[in-house]
Amino acid sequence: MASLFRDRALGLSKRDSFSFSSSSSTAAAAAAASPSSATSRFMPAANSTALSPLPSPFGDLTSTLSDSDIRSSAYEIFLSANRSSASKPLTYIPSSNSSNSPSNSTTNGNSTANLQRSLTSAAASKMKKALGMRSSSSKKSSDSHNSTPGGKLKKPVTIGELMRVQMRVSEAADSRIRRGLLRISAGQVGRRTELTVLPLELLQQFKASDFTDQQEYEAWQKRNLRMLEAGLLLHPHTPLEKANTAAQRLRQIIHAALDRPIETGRNNESMQVLRTTVIALASRTVDGAPFECHWADGLPLNLRLYETLLEACFDVNDETAIVEEVDEIMELVKKTWGVLGLNQTLHNLCFTWVLFNRYVATGQVENDLLRAADSQLAEVAKDAKVTKDSIYSTVLSSTLTAMMGWAEKRLLAYHETFDSGNIDLMESIVSVGVLAAKILVEDISNEYRRRRKNEVDVALSRIDTYIRSSLRTAFAQRMEKADSSRRASRNQPNPLPVLAILAKDVGELAIKEKDTFSPILKIWHPFAAGVAVATLHACYGNELKQYISGIAELTPDAVQILRAADKLEKDLVQIAVEDSVDSDDGGKAIIREMPPYEAEGVIANMVKLWIKTRIDRLKEWVDRNLQQEVWNPRANQEGCAPSAVEVLRIVDETLEAFFLLPIPMHPALLPDLVTGLDKCLQYYATKAKSGCGSRSIYIPTMPALTRCTTGTKFQWKKKEKAVASQKRNPQVATVNGDSSNTVPQLCVRINTLHKIRMELEVLEKRIITLLRNCESAHVEDFSNGVGKTFEITPATCIEAVQQLSEGVAYKIVFQDLSHVLWDYLYVGELSSSRIEPFLQELEKNLTIVADTVHERVRTRLIADVMRASFDGFFLVLLAGGPTRAFSKQDSSMIEDDFKSLKDLFWANGDGLPDDVIDKFSTTAREVLPLLRMESEALIERFRRLTLETYGSSAKARLPLPPTSGQWDPNEPNTLLRVLCYRNDETATKFLKKTYNLPKKL
């Protein structure tokens, strides 16, 4: 066989041209000496199509293997697999003698006989006929293998020679491969081809002297090494273990050889090491069968090699044509299955992909290829039902996904893809997409297998998707066209409205769908036309509703549109009924998809527009009036804002006006109105509380530690500074400036929010009354309460009252009374800076609060003031800065002062309840006793708690505990702050020694 692939000029005799003897070396040398000539003889014609294939579904190979590398290795495997299994030399038998000498034909086996067949005797391809492909004309077949730049006509004269041309292999390379295979065959008599690691054997057969130059030799060696790497390391048949020493050794050998070529040939030490390593990896046990050779049968390498061989069925000079000799070529290509680990099932799948991919890659001009792919896919469907191999399923899934993805890009908008000129192609593309989807769902999907097959009709589902998607796209295009027609006729008298034009266009589109596309799609979907018109009905209905929602009354244009819509609807329903006449339900399912364009929907949209207008006006009113609101405590007897009284009145009037509308759907639209009013009132509540401050704004930032040198000062927020700070901070900006943030005005805001929450309950009862008097209401409309309650405003009001209450409390203590709390309390001599001045000022503010705030929220606000006062008291004691120092003897006066503070809020039983006062006094009961403790005891307790907190790491040096802001006798930072303000020698020495704090306060 070795001499069958040599490309000879037609003028030479066959004996001289194809006999394998010592002259073959001379021929090879001559070819190598003139590479340009050899190359020109196998190159395709200059007008060959530039392929644009789809991404391979078989997986990614290493980027170091080019398409040319894959093709060269595939050709080597092809030659090796088709060499004679006997020990006879590979000789050529002329066609004139083969018929008269059957003994010669059988000597070299069937493969060799096929390779030797003369091309001129090839019959029409049975495979092409089976795939539904036309046979090429004799002229086309003859011309397809012509071509040298010099204009000399030549063509392959055997199947083997044709394969060399198809694979784009030069004469020099072909001659070298044949020599190597003969040498390998001589050394391995009787050994099966699939038991040979071909790249390894070829590396051992050749040296640099066998090539025209060193560069060609190095490229050849690198290709074979990379092929070994791909087959044994990157894509092995069985995954390698990480600790596989042979794999590590081969990886090192290959990487070293890629940098510096190794010496090849027989009896070479480096080759022996390579051979030992490769054989160890290739001859692994698989499924209990030892001594099998696996070097090129792992995914995706084997499929990529086989794909390359199958691509040789396409004429090198006409990328869209399969050669007439495809039957013989395919018979020889299948001989590689043993090496590549393939079978008929994988062949069917791979060949399907090759046909399909070639159709796509060549610009989709040869429809025979698509039909052939579709026909071959039917074979794949049969295989998929009986083959449950996981590897096959993986390849099958990725291949079908790629094919289905390509098909669906065209089918999801088939109005753009097909017209009267190519409508015959649509059936094949639909068949490919549907069949691929069926295999993916029915034979691969585990979810499908768990369900009864009659529950899912994959074909019908996919066609349904194609129809709906394509019709939606076509409808959008008709909309653009109608809009253009409207603009063009703008200056004409009484131009048609856009939706009227669109109704006419959609009707024409429905007729085209029924006459052109539905007959084809009906093969897979019995109600294709019905689904199409139902989709168009929905698309137009959406546009119609959108139009009507934007009008306030029925204008002439609106009437014209509604009449056009009515006619369109009747036409669409008629098509749906005709299409479904043979269905079990008489077309009811399709008709249910086409809800009528009812007048009630028009009314409902108009009412919704009315509601929206009222709500928008109310929101504008809220904005305008809140900007003018001054929050005057004396504005009315309830002590709330006049704007709140007015907004509640408007809400009540809006509800009454709604129930006076002459419509039959008050209960259905009431939730829309209540939701809008609810949002407006929530908006009012949110704006009323915004910019009024909160606890976090007024309470000072806690310093890390307050024992510091004289001259530093804790940054307390004084009143005038806080005001300036708020002006700079957008988070504390107010609706009407800082002048609306006095304590009485903040109390009015609290009253206002409380009133709104209370009035909502009244409004809800009024809604029920109005609903009961409504003629269109039913018992369930007002019994279930849905849509008649205000859901978000009450919670907003509660949250706002809480925030404002805390804000007022901390504003009074930390801003308004900072001059008697921070600047006076316990500054200097303790006996002359007691708490009485603070209590007097605090009592004045409590009187204002009591006189202004509604009694239902008064207790809450006073409790917040008490909590803020307690926080301020302890901030002075534990973070008061260098102007304060306490001795153990001062503790009794401090405790008396705190008791006086509590008594202010108790007010001889007329103030806050005892349990509320006790709840907020917990910190005082726990922390104040620390002031009575001896310094030594405090220090010892501080050490113990610190060690418990930080563990053994604190033994060498006590860490400085962080400031938490939560005072607790069992918290190290609290104890440390008591020590920092302890005015005695023991505390000073401890702090100096432990933390190097200043000796003096």
The predicted pLDDT at position 708 comes to: 46
The predicted pLDDT at position 356 comes to: 95
Flag whether pLDDT at 106 surpasses 50: no
The tokens describing 415, both together, are: 């109005």
Q: What percentage of the chain exceeds 70 in pLDDT?
A: 79
pLDDT band at 314 (very low <50, low <70, confident <90, very high): very high
**Distance separating alpha carbons of residues 521 and 528, to the nearest angstrom:** 6
The predicted pLDDT at position 156 comes to: 66
pLDDT band at 512 (very low <50, low <70, confident <90, very high): very high
- What's the longest Cα–Cα distance across the chain? 138
For the chain, the distance separating the N- and C-terminal CA atoms, rounded to the nearest angstrom, is: 108
Question: What are the percentages of helix, strand and coil residues in the chain, rounded to 5?
Answer: 65, 0, 30
Contact 272, 279 (CB under 8 A): no
Flag whether pLDDT at 102 surpasses 50: no
How high is the mean pLDDT of the chain? 81
Beta bridge partners of 289: 286
**Distance separating alpha carbons of residues 764 and 785, to the nearest angstrom:** 9
**Distance separating alpha carbons of residues 571 and 993, to the nearest angstrom:** 98
**Distance separating alpha carbons of residues 333 and 305, to the nearest angstrom:** 11
The predicted pLDDT at position 291 comes to: 63
Measured between alpha carbons, how far is residue 809 from residues 734, 813, 850 in Å? 18, 6, 13
pLDDT band at 16 (very low <50, low <70, confident <90, very high): very low
One-letter identity of residue 564: A
Contact 502, 479 (CB under 8 A): yes
Ranges 373-387, 723-737, 775-789, most confident: 373-387
664-680 per-position pLDDT tens digit: 678 888 999 999 999 99
Of 876, 829, 880, give the one whose Cα is nearest residue 706: 880
The tokens describing 813, both together, are: 């203590």
Cβ-Cβ contacts under 8 Å for 491 (sequence gap 6 or more)? none
Flag whether pLDDT at 711 surpasses 50: no
**186-195, 278-287, 534-543, 648-657: range with lowest mean pLDDT:** 186-195
* 337 vs 263 pLDDT, higher one: 337
**Distance separating alpha carbons of residues 145 and 936, to the nearest angstrom:** 108
Flag whether pLDDT at 259 surpasses 50: yes
**Distance separating alpha carbons of residues 181 and 2, to the nearest angstrom:** 8
Using DSSP's 3-state secondary structure scheme, residue 712 falls into strand
* 701 vs 647 pLDDT, higher one: 647
Contact 930, 974 (CB under 8 A): yes
* 200 vs 31 pLDDT, higher one: 200
Of 314, 383, 402, 371, give the one whose Cα is nearest residue 342: 383
pLDDT band at 19 (very low <50, low <70, confident <90, very high): very low
Flag whether pLDDT at 910 surpasses 70: yes
The predicted pLDDT at position 792 comes to: 94
Can you state the angle between helices 67-81 and 214-228, rounded to 10 degrees? 80
Flag whether pLDDT at 114 surpasses 60: no
Average pLDDT over residues 277-295: 78
Determine the Cα angle at 891 with ends 888 and 894, to 5°.
150
Measured between alpha carbons, how far is residue 704 from residues 707, 822, 880 in Å? 10, 18, 12
Q: What percentage of the chain exceeds 90 in pLDDT?
A: 51
The predicted pLDDT at position 616 comes to: 94
Q: How many CB atoms lie within 10 A of CB 270?
A: 14
The predicted pLDDT at position 413 comes to: 94
Flag whether pLDDT at 149 surpasses 50: no
Using DSSP's 3-state secondary structure scheme, residue 118 falls into strand
Flag whether pLDDT at 517 surpasses 90: yes
**Distance separating alpha carbons of residues 76 and 181, to the nearest angstrom:** 9
What value does the CA radius of gyration of the chain take, rounded to a whole number of Å?
47
pLDDT band at 190 (very low <50, low <70, confident <90, very high): low
The predicted pLDDT at position 100 comes to: 33
**Distance separating alpha carbons of residues 321 and 323, to the nearest angstrom:** 6
Domain boundaries, the chain: 57-82+157-342, 343-453, 464-597, 607-698+740-925, 933-995
The predicted pLDDT at position 450 comes to: 54
Measured between alpha carbons, how far is residue 327 from residues 42, 127, 139, 163, 319 in Å? 22, 6, 19, 12, 18
Query: Which of the 8 DSSP states describes residue 322?
Result: E
Flag whether pLDDT at 528 surpasses 90: yes
Ranges 411-415, 558-562, 944-948, most confident: 411-415
**286-295, 439-448, 716-725: range with lowest mean pLDDT:** 716-725
**Distance separating alpha carbons of residues 932 and 935, to the nearest angstrom:** 9
Residue whose token pair is 């209370």: 758
Contact 905, 842 (CB under 8 A): no
Average pLDDT over residues 528-553: 88
The predicted pLDDT at position 598 comes to: 72
Beta bridge partners of 982: 886
Average pLDDT over residues 823-842: 93
Flag whether pLDDT at 823 surpasses 70: yes
Average pLDDT over residues 787-815: 91
Average pLDDT over residues 719-737: 34
DSSP 266-319: SS-HHHHHHHHHHHHHHS--BTTBTT---SS-STTHHHHHHHHHHHTTEETTEE
The predicted pLDDT at position 630 comes to: 92
Beta bridge partners of 118: 158
Average pLDDT over residues 328-338: 93
Ranges 322-326, 333-337, 564-568, 605-609, most confident: 333-337
Flag whether pLDDT at 645 surpasses 70: yes
Of 304, 288, 294, give the one whose Cα is nearest residue 339: 294
pLDDT band at 564 (very low <50, low <70, confident <90, very high): confident
Question: Counting beta carbons within 10 angstroms of the beta carbon of residue 688, is it exposed (0 to 12), middle (13 to 18) or buried (19 or more)?
Answer: buried
The predicted pLDDT at position 279 comes to: 92
> Beta strand pairing status for 314-315 and 318-322?
antiparallel
Of 235, 245, 187, give the one whose Cα is nearest residue 64: 235
The answer to whether the bond into 300 is cis (omega within 30° of 0) is: yes
The tokens describing 882, both together, are: 């260098």
Average pLDDT over residues 616-641: 91
* 48 vs 820 pLDDT, higher one: 820
* 251 vs 546 pLDDT, higher one: 251
* 155 vs 616 pLDDT, higher one: 616
Flag whether pLDDT at 371 surpasses 90: yes
Question: Counting beta carbons within 10 angstroms of the beta carbon of residue 523, is it exposed (0 to 12), middle (13 to 18) or buried (19 or more)?
Answer: middle
The predicted pLDDT at position 694 comes to: 84
DSSP 486-553: HHHTTTSSSPPPHHHHHHHHHHHHHHHIIIIIHHHHTTT-TTHHHHHHHHHHHHHHHHHHHHHTT-SS
Residue whose token pair is 């704007």: 643
Phi, psi for 130 (deg, rounded to 5):
-65, -35
894-903 per-position pLDDT tens digit: 999 999 999 9
pLDDT band at 403 (very low <50, low <70, confident <90, very high): very high
Cβ-Cβ contacts under 8 Å for 145 (sequence gap 6 or more)? 155, 156, 162, 165, 315, 316, 317
Average pLDDT over residues 224-247: 92
471-507 per-position pLDDT tens digit: 999 999 999 988 887 776 665 555 678 898 999 999 9
* 732 vs 456 pLDDT, higher one: 456
Question: Counting beta carbons within 10 angstroms of the beta carbon of residue 436, is it exposed (0 to 12), middle (13 to 18) or buried (19 or more)?
Answer: buried
The predicted pLDDT at position 653 comes to: 94
Flag whether pLDDT at 691 surpasses 50: yes
**Distance separating alpha carbons of residues 486 and 557, to the nearest angstrom:** 13
Flag whether pLDDT at 775 surpasses 90: no
Using DSSP's 3-state secondary structure scheme, residue 493 falls into coil
The predicted pLDDT at position 122 comes to: 45
* 390 vs 10 pLDDT, higher one: 390
341-367 per-position pLDDT tens digit: 999 999 999 999 999 999 999 988 889
One-letter identity of residue 859: T
The predicted pLDDT at position 35 comes to: 37
Secondary element (H or E) of residue 320: strand 318-322
Query: Which of the 8 DSSP states describes residue 321?
Result: E
**Distance separating alpha carbons of residues 232 and 249, to the nearest angstrom:** 12
pLDDT band at 844 (very low <50, low <70, confident <90, very high): very high
Question: Counting beta carbons within 10 angstroms of the beta carbon of residue 621, is it exposed (0 to 12), middle (13 to 18) or buried (19 or more)?
Answer: middle
Cβ-Cβ contacts under 8 Å for 368 (sequence gap 6 or more)? 132, 133, 134
Of 926, 1001, 931, 999, give the one whose Cα is nearest residue 966: 926
Cβ-Cβ contacts under 8 Å for 388 (sequence gap 6 or more)? none
Contacts 24+ apart (CB under 8 A), 133-139: 133/322, 133/368, 133/369, 133/371, 133/372, 134/368, 135/324, 136/321, 136/323, 136/324
